[in-house]
Chain A
Amino acid sequence: MRFSKKFSVIAVLLAVCLLAFGSLAAAKAPVLRMATTTSTDNTGLLDYLAPILLKDTGIEIQWVSVGTGKALEYGRNGDVDVVLTHSPSQEDKFMEEGAGANRRKVMYNDFVLIGPASDPAGVKGKPVVQAFATIAAKGEKLVSRADKSGTHTAELKLLEKAGVKDFDKAPWYVQTGQGMLKTINIADEQNGYALTDRGTFIKYDAGLNGRKGLVIICEGDNELLNKYSVMAVSPLKHPNVKYDLALKYIDWITSSKVQEDIANFKVEGKQLFFPEAEKRYGH
């Protein structure tokens, strides 16, 4: 009895130690790390592209998907090798600081303004800047991610163009601080308007399963283009980053073959991303 008592304690401890340290010795294969935005990950685009990348180049990619602001911060700190984001103004700043290198356009999709089917502000089909001005003037709810994401940045730019000021504490401006889909759900619960990327809206719409939810209020406006760029993290600031792998990745994702793959990616039967890689950025 005494033996088996001790034995069982030792067996448990051994099992824990094996589980804890057994895998430490495993060799680490060279991998490319990317910081990207929730919209590319939540739509499934990255899961679709990763095996193609592995097959074409032998590179294994690992990504963290966060808001554009945080993704660029990971880049600034050298925690990732490459960033794929959609906020031109924040990216400009990133490049000016010398944090990035070899920025290239990759693709675009578009934002849509969504809201209740009853459209309490009466802005359906209006130019989006005018719609924002009207929503603010009438004090209808506008639900914002307020998380420095690419979508949030685009929304702020539209509010600025609409001449809306002092909205930070306005009762109609609801700041969730959460991801896109959660924000759409909050807008749905509160009968509010929200700016979203089309991909997340399609996912939300499919998830309704016939229940009535928010609908598209404004779309197709030039102001609503959502552009994605890829940048390598500059090896000048962080000599440890895998710059060569990052450049290979950038060449790969901007190649005509992969651009076609991106165009062929569909969610709920709809194309989500449109290739835009033929030119170097800004030329």
Chain B
Amino acid sequence: MDFIANGFVQAFHLLFTADEETMVILVTTLRLTALSMALILALGLPMGFALGYFTFPGKRALCTVTDTLLALPTVVIGLLVYAFISRRGLLGDWELLFTVEGMAIGQVILGTPIVAAYTASAVEGLDSRLRQTLLTLGASGAKLAAVSLWEARFMILTAALTALGRIVGEVGSAMMLGGNIKWHTRTITTAITLETGKGDFALGIALGVILILISLLLNISLSFLRRRTQN
């Protein structure tokens, strides 16, 4: 039991002494998360907007597929992506396996359905008069999408935070695609798995505490941002 208390002490020790290994793990985690989130939003927002805004044949089926993808186990995503980016795979020549970029592919597959599904229901839920007003005012295409998404911004923020939560705490695909290589692809979650496997439970807890602190910091700054855009 005492390893939990030790973990908290160690977490602050690692942070305040700027332990080199911990810092590299932290930066790798942030790099991976930022890269993944940028791609997830770039893909998920237009997909979600299209799903929520337009009516087209097969729309219901597509929504069902998106919702089902929310339940994909991370290890399965890891295996699927591995099959493609292994040197034997279709994209093997790109040498993405065991790199942060390769790990990001898994995260994107994990996070995009979340953003797409939430955005779709947010856009669907918008007041239908908004669309009519915009059309009357002569808005079209990109302008229309931009204003609709802006109106749905709080739901979308929730979507982004949910996706962020899922990818930052994920370990299955990060382990498979990144390989947990020290100084290169070791993230907080894969490091926790390693330290637990080595029997260093306190260090595992310490890294967990650091992960929670980062999430806390992110959420505080986002809620600040949210308040600014509200008034």
Contact = CB atoms under 8 A, between A and B. Distances in A.
Contact of A79 (B34, B39, B98): B98
A19 B34 contact: yes
Given A19-B31, A20-B35, A79-B98, A47 B197 contact: no
A252 B98 CA distance: 24
Contacts of A207: 199
B199 A9 contact: no
Nearest to A241: B87
Contacts of A89: none
A17 B38 contact: yes
Contact of B228 (A8, A42, A64): A8
A47 B196 CA distance: 18
Interface string A23-44: 1100000000100001000100
Nearest to B230: A5
A240 B198 contact: no
B38 A42 contact: no
A240 B87 contact: yes
A62 interface: yes
Contacts of B181: 62-64
A179 interface: yes
A77 B184 CA distance: 21
Where chain A touches its partner, the secondary structure class is helix
B92 interface: yes
Nearest to B193: A179
A30 to B, nearest CB: 12
Contacts of A240: 87, 92-93, 95
Interface in B71-114: 86-88, 92-93, 95, 97-98, 100-101
A185 B87 contact: no
A108 B228 CA distance: 64
Interface residues of A, number: 34
B39 to A, nearest CB: 8
Contact of A78 (B88, B179, B228, B229): B88
B1 interface: no
A212 to B, nearest CB: 16
A268 B101 CA distance: 38
Contact of A182 (B86, B184, B197): B197
A77 B87 contact: yes
B182 interface: yes
Contact of B87 (A20, A38, A78): A78
A238 B87 contact: yes
B164 to A, nearest CB: 11
A70 to B, nearest CB: 10
A20 B197 contact: no
A223 B224 CA distance: 65
Interface string A44-85: 000100000000000000111100000000000111000000
Contacts of B152: none
B199 A8 contact: no
B228 A79 contact: no
B40 to A, nearest CB: 11
A38 to B, nearest CB: 7
A274 interface: no
Contacts of A178: 197
A48 to B, nearest CB: 13
Contact of B198 (A20, A181, A241): A181
Contacts of B182: 47, 62
B198 A79 contact: no
Interface in A151-190: 178-179, 181-182, 185
B180 A20 contact: no
A16 B34 contact: yes
A20 B199 contact: no
A248 interface: no
A78 B86 CA distance: 8
B30 interface: yes
B225 interface: yes
Interface of B: 30-31, 34-35, 37-39, 86-88, 92-93, 95, 97-98, 100-101, 179-184, 196-199, 221, 225, 228-229
26 contacts: A5-B228, A9-B225, A12-B221, A16-B34, A16-B37, A16-B38, A21-B38, A23-B31, A33-B98, A42-B197, A62-B181, A62-B184, A64-B98, A64-B181, A77-B87, A78-B86, A78-B92, A79-B86, A79-B98, A179-B197, A181-B198, A207-B199, A238-B88, A240-B87, A240-B93, A240-B95
Give the 3 A-B CB pairs with smallest separation, nearest first. Answer: A64-B179, A78-B87, A19-B34
Interface of A: 4-5, 8-9, 12, 16-17, 19-21, 23-24, 33, 38, 42, 47, 62-65, 77-79, 178-179, 181-182, 185, 203-204, 207, 238, 240-241
